[in-house]
Structure 1
């Protein structure tokens, strides 16, 4: 059975950026997954899908949620945020917890991130995209999206 209506919500508010233009080859060349990116301008990072938090970096810069269909969605906050070792990012949940789409997962202290000149382009990726067909970015490049409200990716399994 195929589901054509799987939606991934914007985990953070901001402007949609094409993944190929992200200034980090790990993301632009799709080495860690396929999806899109958001130039973040919000401080709340929400769960993009219903599922279990299956990965949460100690540095709090990225997490992944695996849905009931087995698709794992990775949210990576900014580029080079790992160098801050968690400074400016507060975790609100942990690995193993079940969450619903729209649940706050992280809170960002934007002034701290800006002080450290962190590029807030935030990739939203399907890590195991071999499980997915027809991955489609939902909004147009450059469009503003609202966290927890707007769909950024649609896929079929």
Structure 2
């Protein structure tokens, strides 16, 4: 009854996920790591970055930020759980070359700076700079449409259109 009187807050069901990095778009199946290419963590897309800045791909909340600063988890307003994993085997760098700009629990808007990293250092010390962007709660996703683009601009290029169940 109160919902009728005061209105129930409508939860967004559909959402556009914008590029968190600037660079070349790579299909998730082409990521040189089976954990990502075989979608063990979930479906998504990847970017080979040309600069060391990661911005939020959605309006949401930081729900995970690895102590090594190489990976960050965001829950979008629609409920999508998005993992951004900078480079491959970057966990072995133990945070060297990474700087965080947010904390777990922070509310963010699409385009807000999340972390910066030294791209040259990753090229030198890690297996790859390719950065997977994965929806980790795929069971809650009704549809996931990948946008056809070859280059991404952080905070601007539409990567994925997602519809939650």
Q: TM-score, normalised by structure 1?
A: 0.93
The answer to whether the 8 Å contact 1:51/1:67 transfers is yes
Q: 1:1-157 alignment to 2 at 5 Å?
A: 5-140=14-149, 143-157=150-164
SS at match of 2:25: strand
Deviation at 1:68, TM superposition (A): 2.1
Q: TM-score, normalised by structure 2?
A: 0.88
> Unaligned 5+ residue runs, structure 2?
1-9
> Unaligned 5+ residue runs, structure 1?
none
Give the whole-Å Cα distance in 2 for the aligned partners of 1:58 and 1:101: 23
Give the whole-Å Cα distance in 2 for the aligned partners of 1:114 and 1:125: 22
The answer to whether the 8 Å contact 1:75/1:124 transfers is yes
Give the count of matched residue pairs: 155
Change (3 A) 1:34 1:10: same
Bigger CA radius of gyration: 2
Give the whole-Å Cα distance in 2 for the aligned partners of 1:2 and 1:54: 18
CA RMSD, 1 decimal: 1.6
